[in-house]
Amino acid sequence: MSLTIDLKGKTALITGATGQLGRVMVHTFAQCGANVVIHFMNNSKHAEVLLNQIRSMGVEGCVVQGDVGEPDDVWRMKSEIEQKMALPDIAVTNAVSQIFPWQSVLDEEVEDYDNQFKSCVMQNVLIAKAFVPNMIQKGWGRFVGINTEVSIQTLETQSAYAAGKKGMDGVLRVLAREVGPNGITVNQVAPGWTITHRNRDKMIEAQQAYASGVPLRRRGEAQEVANVVAFLSSDLASFITGAFVPVNGGNTFVGI
């Protein structure tokens, strides 16, 4: 017996869809038959490219812009989606504000902690408030947050990013308990240092110092992350909720 991830008839919102992982998830969801809401912050050109690509694959989509850490932007995005297509059955919170370089707690700017709180915690709170009520009405929904192995590692200089993602973890674990009775699952996928198209373009896929500490002795592919997200969004994962799934070749383990 073969199993197929079938998302036909579903609509998925992917935040940060024009990013390196976001682009792969957009294509993966379209390949599974889902219509896709493509969210972007600044890259409108690539959002339109993605929209044309998924339409050529036989699914529908639309593009929305906004800061997912700002309430007014998220409510406007919801209104725009309602005018263009169905509200999402699946929400994938992938957008993230990048901080570079990471610094020690004593050196990291205080503003960076506020930035990560908005990007990681408030994004999930606002996306839930905007789109989960419609899932409750339908009695079916999927919410998948893109976390990170950093939440488990908590290594030097990771404090701002780790704090934001740990806060996100707390919100989504509570949300899973609250909306489970309504037929909605809430899970998280935590990638490691993943190979993207940008890495290939710069020919920096191989990072031996990192890979040598990974039990599978390599970096993961963005497609491998997207596959797990699609699985958790499908009926194949209908009895999985509250999970935190590292997709990093065993670089970190989640204990009980």
Rounded Cα distance, 79 and 45, in Å: 22
Look up the pTM and report it: 0.94
pLDDT at 209: 82
Rounded Cα distance, 203 and 232, in Å: 31
pLDDT in tens, 177-189: 999 999 999 999 9
- Residue 106's alpha-carbon distances to 59, 102, 156, 159, in angstroms, are 49, 11, 11, 10
**Which residues are designated catalytic?**
161
pLDDT at 160: 98
Rounded Cα distance, 195 and 21, in Å: 9
The architecture CATH gives domain 11-195+224-246: 3-Layer(aba) Sandwich (3.40)
**Phi then psi dihedrals of residue 65, to 5 deg:** -115, 145
pLDDT at 221: 94
pLDDT at 250: 86
pLDDT in tens, 234-254: 999 999 999 999 999 988 887
10-residue mean pLDDT series, the chain (256 residues):
89 97 98 98 97 98 98 98 97 96 97 98 98 98 98 96 98 98 98 75 66 88 97 98 94 76
| Domain spans, the chain | 11-195+224-246
pLDDT at 141: 98
Which residue bears the tokens 């902690």? 113
Helices 159-179 and 123-138, interaxial angle, to 10°? 20
For CA atoms 192, 128, 81, 86, give the dihedral sign: positive
* Residue 71 CA to its chain's centroid (Å): 19
pLDDT at 60: 98
pLDDT at 1: 55
Rounded Cα distance, 235 and 222, in Å: 22
pLDDT at 207: 76
